[in-house]
């Protein structure tokens, strides 16, 4: 096993170097041939200093990994790969925030990220909506907006990944710059505004991934008994959520969400109605009692009128804002219980600037704040919503999670599942196994034998 991994690592490094050299050579040939009779030396593409640093670090890690793995078993090498990303990840901070984000998505899409080979501890496994999660740690919507890298991201060891928000019609979103780091506070402010390639493009990508898995299953590559009990969904190992948004200029929000259901629900293990982004004018007004009730009814009807197999339709969730009053929460809870909503995600980004962010000069930028400063606000709201829904509705805790202890606090407050985004942006792939390891320690420390036992423990 170690020998095969070593061969694979060396091959990857060789192929990576070959692609760099061959692409440069081809570029030089094209430059030369484009000028008839040109006799000067061909121009070599210029790579910035930051680009050379990233490339050099990546190649160095690949070569070192190839040497190291020859004496290590697969699990040890897997751990080494995740730890090695701690060297590369800080380099992304040298880049423009949005460019770094695109680079990270590209890396995951092309398989340039570690792949988790170690099974999750049984204590982290749980079943929600009839779907088996190998662990409760997920990636929130906003990272992979256009479903470009679902396989690579699930391969990192997330229990589930949520793509989107996806709008019916492609839109650019708000003007750049629109993503701002607050490094000292472990936070980010964004005002992206649902930049999306649109339903058609995302449906094609998800359809291709779904078809790939179906082909693998029918060809017998996933037919062993051990594979049959593996947690997973429509996109393969791991659960895939699809977050639906509305276009900025749309006058009929419900029609936008219904269109998303009709085109994307067949590829989703769960669906999310996003009515809480602060960067789309008028969107948060849909959280009002009457508006939300009307919207959810229409989306549920659109989903239920479609033909479904034995697994039934995907669960429907609503993602809410952290900037709501107690009365607002009571209204949302009432709608959720009355319409048998399958779940709530608590919460989106905040337009407030809680301490210590107020002292950061970047805090004056408009947009939604995410990251560590959001943790108290979103967790308190999670706790309130668990009480209001009497623990009858699965809640996904999102906002400020950057450690296993953070995830554990969300779970004790009432979260069945937990999502992160900003913590992942700062911590990189190495954060995922770290959070899971710390979460196991928290559970064992307090005498819990499963995640299920810990859900809502603060209320008992």
Peptide bond into 59 cis (omega under 30): no
Please report the pLDDT score of residue 61 as a whole number.
56
Q: Is the pLDDT of residue 157 over 50?
A: yes
Stated pTM of the model: 0.84
Quote the CA–CA distance of 143 and 406 in Å, as a whole number.
Answer: 20
Asked if residue 111 is part of any domain, the answer here is yes
| Percentage above 90 pLDDT, the chain | 73
Please report the pLDDT score of residue 31 as a whole number.
41
Please report the pLDDT score of residue 209 as a whole number.
86
Please report the pLDDT score of residue 2 as a whole number.
43
Asked if residue 315 is part of any domain, the answer here is yes
Looking up tokens 């623990």 gives 391
CATH code, domain carrying 178? 3.20.20.70
Give the contacts of 173 (CB within 8 A, at least 6 positions apart): 192, 193, 194, 195, 196, 279
Residues pairing with 372 in the sheet: none
Q: What's the mean pLDDT in 220-235?
A: 54
Q: What's the mean pLDDT in 249-273?
A: 96
Which residue among 222, 277, 378, 402 is the active-site one?
A: 277
Asked if residue 82 is part of any domain, the answer here is yes
Number of domains in the chain: 1
Asked if residue 92 is part of any domain, the answer here is yes
Is residue 435 a contact partner of residue 407, using CB atoms and an 8 Å limit? yes
pLDDT tier, 210 (very low <50, low <70, confident <90, very high otherwise) = confident
pLDDT digit string (tens) for 280-331?
989 999 999 999 999 999 999 999 999 998 889 999 999 999 999 999 999 9
Handedness of CA 333, 334, 335, 336 (dihedral sign): positive
Asked if residue 154 is part of any domain, the answer here is yes
Could you tell me the residue range of the domain that residue 199 belongs to? Answer: 59-219+230-454
Per DSSP, the chain holds a count of helices (H) and strands (E) of 15, 15
Please report the pLDDT score of residue 220 as a whole number.
59
Q: Is the pLDDT of residue 185 over 90?
A: yes
Beta strands in 239-365 (DSSP E): 239-244, 270-274, 316-320, 343-346
Asked if residue 120 is part of any domain, the answer here is yes
Q: Is the pLDDT of residue 224 over 80?
A: no
Q: Is the pLDDT of residue 413 over 70?
A: yes
Q: Is the pLDDT of residue 1 over 60?
A: no
Q: What's the mean pLDDT in 430-440?
A: 98
For helices 375-388 and 326-338, what crossing angle results, to 10°? 50
Asked if residue 53 is part of any domain, the answer here is no
pLDDT digit string (tens) for 20-49?
434 444 344 334 334 344 434 434 445 455
Q: What's the mean pLDDT in 39-64?
A: 52
| Percentage above 70 pLDDT, the chain | 81
Across 60-64, 116-120, 392-396, least confident range: 60-64
Q: Is the pLDDT of residue 51 over 60?
A: no
Give the contacts of 70 (CB within 8 A, at least 6 positions apart): 2, 3, 6
Please report the pLDDT score of residue 76 as a whole number.
87
Asked if residue 39 is part of any domain, the answer here is no
Q: Is the pLDDT of residue 375 over 90?
A: yes
Q: Is the pLDDT of residue 389 over 70?
A: yes
| Residue 277 annotated among the catalytic residues of the structure | yes
Written as six digits, the tokens of 370 are 């995410």
Rg of the chain, C-alpha, whole Å: 23
Q: What is the mean pLDDT of the chain?
A: 86
Quote the CA–CA distance of 29 and 20 in Å, as a whole number.
Answer: 14
Q: What's the mean pLDDT in 157-176?
A: 97
């Amino acid at each position: 096993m170690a020998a095969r991994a070593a061969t694979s690592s060396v091959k990857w490094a060789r192929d990576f170097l070959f692609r760099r050299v061959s692409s440069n050579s081809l570029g030089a040939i094209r430059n030369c041939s484009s000028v008839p009779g040109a006799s000067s030396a061909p121009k070599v593409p210029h790579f910035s200093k930051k680009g050379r640093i990233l490339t050099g670090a990546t190649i160095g890690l690949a070569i070192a990994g190839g040497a190291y793995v020859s004496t290590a078993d697969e699990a040890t090498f897997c751990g080494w790969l995740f730890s090695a990303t701690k060297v590369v990840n800080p380099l992304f901070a040298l880049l423009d925030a949005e460019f770094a984000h695109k680079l990270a998505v590209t890396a995951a899409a092309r398989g340039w990220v570690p792949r988790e080979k170690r099974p999750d501890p049984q204590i982290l496994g749980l079943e929600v909506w009839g779907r088996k999660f190998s662990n409760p740690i997920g990636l929130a919507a906003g990272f992979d907006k256009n479903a470009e890298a679902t396989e690579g991201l699930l391969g990192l060891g997330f229990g589930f990944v949520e793509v989107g928000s996806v709008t019916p019609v492609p839109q650019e979103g708000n003007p750049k710059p629109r993503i701002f780091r607050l490094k000292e506070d472990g936070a980010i402010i964004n005002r992206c505004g649902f930049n999306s390639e649109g339903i058609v493009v995302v449906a094609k990508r998800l359809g291709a991934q779904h078809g790939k898995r179906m082909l693998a299953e029918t060809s017998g590559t996933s037919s062993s008994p051990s594979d049959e009990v593996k947690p997973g969904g429509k996109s393969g190992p791991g659960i895939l959520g699809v977050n639906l948004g509305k276009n900025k200029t749309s006058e009929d929000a419900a029609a936008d969400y219904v269109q998303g259901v009709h085109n994307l629900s067949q590829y989703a293990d769960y669906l999310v109605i996003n009515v809480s982004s602060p960067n789309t004018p008028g969107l948060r007004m849909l959280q009002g009692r009457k508006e939300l009730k009307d919207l959810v009814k229409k989306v549920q009807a659109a989903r239920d009128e479609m033909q479904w197999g034995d697994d039934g339709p995907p669960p429907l969730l609503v993602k809410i804002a952290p900037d709501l009053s107690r009365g607002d929460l009571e209204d949302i809870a009432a709608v959720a219980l009355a319409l048998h909503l399958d779940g709530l995600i608590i919460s989106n980004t905040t337009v407030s600037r809680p301490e210590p962010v107020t002292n950061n000069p970047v805090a004056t930028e408009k947009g939604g704040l995410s990251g560590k400063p959001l943790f108290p606000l979103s967790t308190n709201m999670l706790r309130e919503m668990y009480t209001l829904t009497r623990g009858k509705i699965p809640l996904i805790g999102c906002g400020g999670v950057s450690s296993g202890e953070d995830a554990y606090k969300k779970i004790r407050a009432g979260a069945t599942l937990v999502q992160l985004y900003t913590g992942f942006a700062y911590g990189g792939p190495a954060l995922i196994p770290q959070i899971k390891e710390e979460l196991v320690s928290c559970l064992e420390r307090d005498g819990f034998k499963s995640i299920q036992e810990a859900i809502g423990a603060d209320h008992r």
